Structure 1
Amino acid sequence: MSANRYALAGEGGLTYGVESSPYEQAADATTDPGITNEDIDPPNPNEHTAMSHGGTGRVVFLNSPDEKDYEFDVPTVVHDENAPFEIALGSRTETDEGDYTSVLFEEASRLPTATFRHFQADLDFVSYYVGCKANLGIEWGQGDPLQATFSVTAAQLGYDDTESPGSYPSGLDTSVSPYRAHMAGDLTLSEPDGGGIIKDIATVNSGSFNWDNGLEAQHHGGDPGREAYAVAETTAAEGRYDWSITPNITDTDLFERAYQNDDPVDVEQPFVRQDSNGTIVDGVIVRGKRCTITDAPIPSPSEGVLEGDISLLPESTEIEIRVPN
């Protein structure tokens, strides 16, 4: 019998590492994806199909093992540049810009893979989800943090009952706050490809930006057996993006842009932890390129401030995190 009569939630966690070779466990999977303070349910499926057999009546003749699929959500509060946005967008590039380092996540057709490490120290337990790619949802609202949820699909699960999780020194900097909704700057609409600013919206109360990569585990038998051989991106264009913002309505500009089917615009939503002479040196910037405003009603509520739910459809996107030098 175990000396523990219960295990503590605070003794467990989830970290990750990007794989240098796809579908091979990362050599180091100890990076925090952000602040993880909500439930995470890493799966351990062992589904079987009950089969009958002629002449044996209504009894189960045998239970046949099914393929294994590993899907789970990792909700995080965005804290630093180590948020694994590349496994949902495609690439990560770091550039020294003098006062800050730009960490730019851009889209690619083929996503890199990562290993997520699930540990529970008081159970002496460690498991690894290998070959992970993700869909992504970014949300914020007044009073809340900037939340990024990675909806992970993994190819394989690894477990070694002889491995100890060891100590867990979190790499997160506790001297700074995570990104919060009150750090949101004006949302900017501008002419595509670096053109002039069309409009600043200072009254965005909340927003939701979602990326759906259509991830599907590919099962081909052979060496992986019940595990997946690969995780494929199946979404091309339709259904890939679901973006919306909710601002206070102060004029009819957005209504008119939707009504008139105006030309696409570039959209930029910053979250600023520090600036220097008007330049963001510590922040998260989410950009939608060539966005069409697909819905912009002016509602008629019974009371309160007039808010509108505005839907955006980008042609491409990127996320930049700036780290002060």
Structure 2
Amino acid sequence: MNDSIAVIGGGSWGTALAILLGKKGYSVDMWLRNRKQCEEINYTRENIKYLPGIVLPNNVKATNDIEKAISGKKVIVFSVPSHGVRETIKKVKGKIKDDQLIVNVAKGIENDTLLKISDVVKEELPRVKYTVLSGPSHAEEVGKDMPTTVVAASKEKKVAKYIQDVFMSPKFRVYTNPDVTGVELGGALKNIIALGAGISDGLGYGDNTKAALMNRGIIEIARLGEKMGAKKMTFAGLSGIGDLIVTCTSMHSRNRRAGIKIGEGMSLKEAVDSIGMVVEGVKTNKAAYNLSLKYGVKMPITEEIYNVLYKGSDVKNSVVNLMLRDKTHEIEDIIETEDFDW
């Protein structure tokens, strides 16, 4: 197994994964745009801006030379925000070889095209092998060696198993899954529900409200996912319910924290600015809303959050709208499509 890996992106998650891989003995080149930040990381052995207080192993080096970072690496981990994946790939499009493995850890949908990250990568690099790594995994906890479990999804079993071996450790357990679409959509769309959970907290609502949002949220995520070709059971797994739970309940979650600020009365811009890092759920919400229209899927929570973020709707009115929707069955998708004598 090649003992050298590239991590493209030096935010909190990219840094945490670089630390994880470094502790496993890999030599890791972590690419960041900012030369000064690279110098600071290499000197202090710490990413003070995004993951303070956690020391990087000596075999993890920061560089702002992206071609150097990917050269000779069997595995290239893309840990840039979802809206920057295509732009970043274009920087090295002619340099990535077909036998290099791409691992995406970004969670989002390209807004302009409504493409999943796997589709973006396929358009730009049609012959490379692709894996998505996703699940309930806060960077702050992975960086501190807290037990974490994720899923590696690839259309090729041997590729998924290879990536499983690369990342697996006593504190980082990796499962495999062939359902790339389901794993990607679960990881992306849960950020929308986390925004809603934060808004609920900001309004002063309690656990009942959050539980309802999470439960009905995973149902509408799975509903869209099935329409897009995903397997329903994937949304009951780590990248579905697992990631939804951790993102909706933890203060590590940027999406939940931004939602709290909105619930407390901040504007969208004020809330995002106060977080100081990318809040993926904001852009993903617009994409998911447009996907729901494209596929004719009912996504009432996504729609109400869209109305709050992009149409200036009052958050309290949105809660009322959700509570007073037309009466329906809990398992409406089954009852409406199967022969039930009830």
Q: What TM-score bracket applies, with the shorter chain setting the length?
A: under 0.3
TM-score, normalization by structure 2: 0.25
More strand per residue: 1
If you compute each CA radius of gyration, which structure gives the higher value, 1 or 2? 1
